[in-house]
Every structure is written in structure tokens, then in C-alpha cells.
Structure 1
Amino acid sequence: MRNIAVKVIVVFVLLILPLNLFVVFQANAMISTTAEQVRMSEQGMMDVYGETLANRMDNAVSLLYYFETKNTDCLSMTQQTEKNYTYQKGRQQLYYSFRTMADMIDGAEGYFFFFPKVSDMIMLSGSSADEELEKCLQEQRLGDQARQTRGWYIQEAGDNTYAVLYIELKNVSYGAWIDLSDIADNIRKSLDYESLDVVIGEGELPENELFASFRMDNIYIGISLEQDEIIRVHALYQRSQLVMALCYLGLIPVLFLFIRKIFIAPLKKINDAHVQFQKGNMDYRLPEKAGSREFEMAYRSFNKMADHIKDLRIREYESKIEKQKMELRNLQLQIRPHFLQNTFNLIYSLAQARDTESIQNTMLYLSGYFRFIFRSDKELELFAKELKLIEGYIAMASLRYDNGIEFSCDIDPEVEMVRMPPLLIHNFVENAVKYGVCQDRILHIDLQARYDDKRVTFTIMDDGNGMSAEILERNQKMFRGEYVPEDKNAHLGLYNSLKRLKYFYGDTAYIEVISEPGESTCFTISFPYNMEFSDDPGDI
């Protein structure tokens, strides 16, 4: 009984034969159904979809109304007339607070706020498939085509149809969108009819043309279905039942031969290929052609597996080389002569001033700095340790610049448990001090860290000198991968920070920068992180 062909024969005899005998005796049983019963069933299904959509619309409207009338960040932004540091900070806080509340309810797929005084639109979307709609909404709101109506309406974007809510007030316009194409696809999957057509529209509901439908505000969704097809499907089933049962009784041997050709024989080829591979024949490959697409995919999968195993040693060696290069770049980032020189100069100046307490604090910071670098051989360290180092650096920098720096931070508790490349955020704080300090005013640096939807996001904002348009464009291109500096030493910190993120967290990690010359700079560092699989943080 270990042969698969024998098992197939036994299955046919024990299962198919009794089943067909039963069908023969029950073939004349009537299956009673009517078009009205089917319509009532489908209308009940449509009512469920309609109630769900209504709840989502109500939730979206309630959430937007709450932020427009109650949220202090939103109310403050409506009064801003320029994109200054206060506006950018409020914008960041509005984004995260709205995102948090939106994830807690079953509402729209996306939301937007448009502030006409500064011509700025905030988009909050959970899917990259909504990019076409976002582009369409930006063109309408930022241009001269703003819609003057209030409420829900239909918007086509790309291959999808959306229900869009647009509300325009004096100082702010806001709205949301729901992808109706997903609802239409679910309806099609639920109803297996060739003549089925899902209709989405606005205005009056064409009840005589629709088999079943529901309506919300000015939008309706219905299905068009020919009743003749329902009757034809059920009648065909009744007529074919008896014929199929009798045919199956006589086709058992034919079915066995057919299954042997399309299933058993290809399986034998795959089994023989594994035997050859286990014997050490690394060059053995299966043919690309097979009797079915599934076995062609299985053949190609085996061949790819063989190629992968053959090249595994070379790729492991290349991976080790790349890892060593990355470790070298980390050391280059961590031990910087100009940083040490500035620190020693500060100690010298404090010694001349006989400021013993400040010298002690500076030496303690340096001690912690080098201990952080050399004590552990781990590639990733807890951010809680780096945060203490950042606070020590700010204290030291305040001594150097005569208390010309004010530092604030807002860190989610979960982020302190995140393991990340050493000194990654520290480097950005150093840059904020290095390029942002001014002689005639205090430099404000704000560090925020959030953990949301299995992603960690840091923002480092300062109100220093900002960047020129040329430097900002170059850095943005570098972060998007469109530009690689010819002399990497000239931009070692930013370039290697991006490389380290990609190395440890993959292509979904990114760095973004926005800046206004003479006003502010904001870096955003984001990467995926699953706290459920993080290491034990017992070594804090």
C-alpha cells in the first residue's frame, strides 16, 4: 500500500463508487428554488454591505469633526500663515495623534486636511494603492478646481472608484475616502454568475434595473443580474446530475490513467530529481516543460533551489565581506577625530576657567561614550542607552556654546526597548548642533520617537540655520537612492546612516529631510520593528 497508484485506485473504489451509487438513487430529487428567494438572499447580503459602509462613513465623519472642533493642534494650524517651526511641529503632532485615533476605529481608508493659508495638504493613507487618488485630490485642492459641495461623492482614480467626503470651511478643508472597488470585488466573489455586474453611481437609484442594491447619502451600489441565468444554472444542475453519476462509474479506469499521466508521473520525476541531488549530482535539472502549469512551477522551483544551493557558499562569503565593511563604516562613524579634538579643547578651556564640576561631567560623558562603543560586540544596542548618551552630549554642548541650546524629547516607552545601530540618532543630534547653532539666539532641538503599526519613527527637529535649496535637494535625492556622492567621505554621516538602516532593516527603512533656509530642519528616520520578537531588554 506504499505505492501511490494503488492508493489512488483504493480511494476511487471506496469513495467515488458509493457516492455515485447514492447520486443515482437521489438524481430525481427536486431542488426547489425561485428567483425571488435568490433576490431576497442577495438583498440581505447587500444590506449587510450597506450597513457596514454606513458605519464606516459615520465613523470617518465623527473623527474628522472631532479634530476640526476639539483638537488643539488642528485649531492652531488653521491660524498659521507660514510653514515655520511651530507649524511643522504642530503638523507632526497632528499627524501622529490623528493616525493613532484612525487606527482605533473602522472608518475610511484615508483622510486629508488642507490648510489654505499655507497651501499645505496632510494625507493619511494606509495603502500604496491610493496614490492615484491622493494625486487627484492634491491637484483639486491645491489648484483652482476645489469642489464647492459638501458631503460624499464619487471619484474615479486609476482603476478604482472611491467614495470621497469633502467639507470646506473658512480656514481648513478636510475629508476622507473609502475604496468602493474593494466592496464591488467582494460582492463579485460572493456571487458566482457570469452576467453579474456591480453598478456604482450617484443620484437617483435605478431600482427597476438593479437586482439588489443599497444606498448611502448620494451614493448607491447595486447588482445587475439576469433571472434567466439563475433558472438555467439550477436546471442544468438537475439534468446533469444523473448523467454525470453514470459516466463516473464507467470512467473510473480512464480517470485513473489520466491522473497517472498528469499527477503520478510528474511526481515521480520530482522524486527522482531529489534522489539524484542527494547523491551529489549538483548539475541535475528538471525539464522546463510539463503537462500542467503547477508542475512547471514545481520544476522551475526545484531548478532554482538547486542553483541557490550551488551558489550558497559564494553568497555567504560575500555576505561576510559586506558585514565586515559595514562594521568598519560603523567604527568610522563612531570614532571621529574632529569630535575628539573639540571635546579636548572644551576640557582645556574648562581647566583654564577652573570649572572642576564641568570638567568632571565632560569626562563622565566621554567615559560613557567610549564604553558604549567598545563594551559590547553587538551590532544593535538598546536605544535607552543611546538616549542617555544624547542627553550627556547636549549637556556638554551647552557648556561649549554658553547654554545656547535647549533640548526636548518625547519618546514612546516602547522605543526605549528597540535595538538599533549604535549612535544612529546621536549623529543626527550632533548635526543639529554643528550646523544649527547661531551666535545671536538659542537653538531649540526636539527629539520625538514613536512606535506604531510595527514601525519605529524618529524625528529630529531644530530651528537653526536650515539648509540651502541645493544641499536640501542633494540630500533628498541621496535618501531616495537617486544620488550617490562621488566622495563618500564628504557626506559620511548621512550616507552611512542610510546604508546602516537598509542593511539591518531592509528596503522599507527610509530617511527623509525637510528644511527651510534660516528657519528649521527636520529629519525623519523610520524602519520596521516587531517588539514581539525583540531581545530581552534585561541589560539596560
Structure 2
Amino acid sequence: MINPGAPQLYDNSCGACAFISCMMKAYNHEEPKGADAMNFRIRNWRHKSLRFKLISSVLLMTLPLVGMLLYNNFYAIHTVRGQVAESYENLLKLYMGQIDDGLNDADAYIRTLIDSGYDVISLGTAATDTDYYSAKVYLFNKLNKDISLHNTINSFFVYVDNRQEYMSVTRNNDFALEEMDSIEHQMIDMIHSRPIPKGSASKRWIYTQIGQDNFLFTYVQANNVYVGAWVKTNHLLKPLSTLQIGEGGAVLLSNNQGKPITAANIVDEYEIELHSNHNDYYLSGSTEKFLVSGASSKRGEFNLVALIPDDYILAKLPYLQSIVWFITVASILFIPIGLYSMKQTLLVPFFKVLLTMKKVREGDWSSRVVLEKTSDEFMLLGEAFNSMMSEIERLRINVYEEQLNKQREELQRLQLQANPHFFLNTLNIVYNLAKVKNYELVLEMTMSLIHYFRFMFRSNTSLVKLKDELEHTRNYLKIQSLRFHGQLTWTIDAPEYVTDTPIPPLIIQSFVENSIKYAVTMDEPTHISVEIDFLDEETDSQIKICIKDTGSGFSEQVLRELKAGRSVQNELGEQTGIWNVERRLRLMYGDNVTIQYFNDELGSGGATVAIILPADPSKEEET
């Protein structure tokens, strides 16, 4: 059997091999061992490699310049946006102040009319129709005259609740009769359903929608008479229609919940987010970005918002942006072009040599460096390496064959070790049986002994079929049953489909022998069981052999030594048969074999040995 781990045994026995290993370790900066060593090597290779240093040098020269250009570009954009936003914000605050002043004047006029106007009081307290209509005509003429002084609003209205009469005065009769009827019904419903705005300093103007139009209105109550005013939101935005806002931009009103009152189609189309307050400008929009700036009203729950397209703002920086982006793109393109040229002339041949060295270290001793169209220095290095590898391969073959011969000799020596005590005890049993003239048992004992030693003397092969190993174990147990008459029972359970599986010889019998040696006593009966089956029945990838006894089990010290993989000696300083078996299995399978030792704490408390072997050793040999 070829040991899969054999190359590791002669890896450092050749001076040239040691030279390659040292080169690779120096390149990888090996310090830790195992899995941590691999991670350590990868990290150091990345940070200390020639590739990393060259790329870092190029990036250190170009990235700061590109970063400064990009920073300058974004700073200029941010500055322009800030200046534009500040300009529009000041303009909106100025106009919002004018709107608030106009709404405040209208609100003050209504309150003055309620507090000192005798005709308003007369409407609610008139005893006769003559007095009522006289006061109504007087109030209508007064409102019609005074509305020209309030350019911010569209209409004054008076509603007498006990007579359910509504009277309004509009500027220049700008509204159709049907629209005025809708407004009248809406105002009456709002008076009945909404509370009266309180306090002179509060936001008394309320937003409402009538049909497809939006309105702001307020009113004051004096007994059963309500006097108020309303304005259409489009009327408030008319002075801003000449504001240069850019194509696609808009000036609109929004409520304090961030919902648009006017120009809702633009907000919905571009998914623009409107804030409840407008302390600072911001960018918003999905398919197109808008700079959002605004001002809040002090007299109503609404905001004046300007949506300026970002393209309109940045259109003032075309030349600067073009230069910055050209330099940035040119720099970004130069980096990969320069790195590619450096890679082709320097790094590619260098890493070809390193890759070949890694393949050799992993066991591919036939690898050679192939370099074409490169510098003379790399060609010389490749030729020298290939010549050295040819010499290494010749030396390796000799060392490999010598090591295999040593392993075969050790396997044969371990397999042929016989226990002289067993042989003498068996002859003693035959002698006693012949002495009492129990010839049938003598024949049976002799035949079992013949089969036993026939198997022992032919078992210098690497593998035997499982059924032959089990038959040998049965012969051994039959012999021991005669020795420990009535004190030893045994069972062997192995399905028929596993009996042709090849395993190393004397594996099961050695563990059974160990159980008899340390578990069987004359005090109480002992049972030994052998159970065998595939560990994975779908793929037949591994076979599990389990040997149990009902004795006292492993001691804590022995169990600790066995689990640590150390040899266990008896009182006479002799190594136990377990060490023999484990040594042979490790030589044949390397790390692909698993041996478990434990005591059956839930059952009899006896010792249990579980062996897991590859079901197809030929694959292990190929590996």
C-alpha cells in the first residue's frame, strides 16, 4: 500500500527540495503552523508582494490628484447650489412676508368689523325684516368698497346662521356663478363642521379644497353672524409667475404635513419629498433632481416652496465641469493602462515562476517554468529553475522508492507479531483435552488452531476481505471460549453486503484479543460483540467496525492516553496490541482513518472501540 503521506516523509531529505521549501517559506513569510499559517501567508503576500507595492506606488501618485479635482468639482457645485438656494430663499421669504401681511390685514379688518361694526350686530339682532335688509345693504356696500384695499384676498363673506343667508363680495367678479355656489356651500359646511380659529397670533387661515381648486379662508363669529374672507391659492402665486425657475421647475404651496397644495403633478411625477418646515435647502427627486427651498407662513398652515431643477443650476458650470471630468476620466484610464503594461513586462513572468514553485511544493514535481517574449533576466531564471527541478525529480524518485520499501517492511513486521502466551495457552488446552480423552473438542480445537495460524502466516498482504478477517476472529474466539469455559460469550454481526470489503488483516482480532486479555475474568461472564456496517449506505464511502465488551472498561488514565494517540504499556512495560493496530492503520491510511475509544456509560460500562475506514482503499492508494 502506497502511503498517501509519503511525500511529506522525504520532503526535506533532499538538499534541493529543502532549497525550494526555504524559498517558498521566505516568499510567504511562514511563521505560524496549520490553518493559521495559511491565513498568515496570504495576508503577508498581499501586503509585502511586489505587485502590491507597485500598484500602491502608482495609486499614491494618481489618486490624490484625482481626489483633489473631484473635491474641487463637488465643492464648486455645492457652493453654487448654496448661493442659488439662498437667493431663492430670500425671495420666497420676502414674498411670504407680503402674503402674511395681506392675510393679517384682512384678518384684522374682519375683527375690527365684528368688534365695532354696528351693522354686523344688527344682522343678528334685527327685529324686523326692514331692519335686517337695511343692515345687510349697508354691510354689502361697505365690504364692496373696502375689498379694493385688500389685494391679497379674493372675497369677503357674511353668513347669518339664524336666517341661513350667505352674502359675499368678490373683486372684479372673477368667478362664475356655478363656482360661487360651490364655494358658498363649502364655506357654510366648514363653518358648521370646523372650530373657529382662536387668538390673533395663531395661524388662523385654514386650507381646504373645493372641486379641483385650493383655497385659504378664515372667519370670525359674532353671536349668530359669521364674517370671513377667502383667497384662491393660485391668486397668491400669480406675482411669482415671472420668476425664472428653470424649465420643469415650479413654485407651489404645501401644507405642514409635506403634501403639495398646488402643482401636485410635478411632485408626484418626480417623487419629490417635501418637508414640514424649510429651515435649509435640500435635493430631492427620483428621475430628476430638484433643489427644494421654501419659506413658512406665520398666518396659516402652509409653506411657499420653490422647485429648481438641478440641471438648471449646474448649467452655469459647464466649462469647469467638463475640464474636471475629462482629467478625472483620463487619470482613471491611465491607471489600468499603466498597470497592465507593468504587469505584462514584469509581474506576469515573475508570477509564472512563483506559481510553478507553489505547484512543486504541493507535490506536482513535473511542473516547469514556461516563459515567452520576456526579458533575458527572466529567461535565465526560468532555465536555471527547470534544470534544478530535473535534478530534484531524479533524486526524489530514489528517495521515494527507499521510503516505500521501509514502510512495507514495517507493515509486514507488525502483522507477523504473534503472541507466544496465546500459543502456549492453546497447546496447554489441547493437552488437557487429550488427557481427559475429549477427542471431539481436541479435533475442534486443533482445526481452529490450524485455521488461525494459516491465516496468520498468509496475512503478510496489505488487505484481506472482511469475511476472511471475521472467520479468523471466529476461530480465535472459539479457542478462547474453550479456555474460558462458561465465562466468555460472543457475537459477530456483519451484513452480507459488507463481507467483500477489503480491510487490513488482524485488525478486528487484535482488538478482540485485547478485550479478552483485560476484560474477561473468572468472577463473572463477559460478552464480546463485533458490529460492522457501512457508515453511509448511499455512497458506501466508509465502513464502521465497533468492538464492545461487558468488562470494567478503560481506566481514566488509559482512556486519556489512547485519545491523545500515545502508546499504552502494561505493568511489564510491554506495549499493548492496540498500539500495533493503530500504528498499522496510520501507516496505511494516514489521516483518513478514525479510531474512537470510550466506555459504554449508558449500557454495561465496558470498553468500546469504533474504527471508521475508507470502504474503497484503492482510492486512498491513488490519493
**Shared fold, TM over 0.5:** no
Find the structure with the greater CA-based Rg: 2
TM-score band, normalised by shorter chain: 0.3 to 0.5
TM-score (ref. length: structure 1)? 0.42
Q: Which has the higher contact order (CA 8 A, sep 6+)?
A: 2
TM-score (ref. length: structure 2)? 0.37
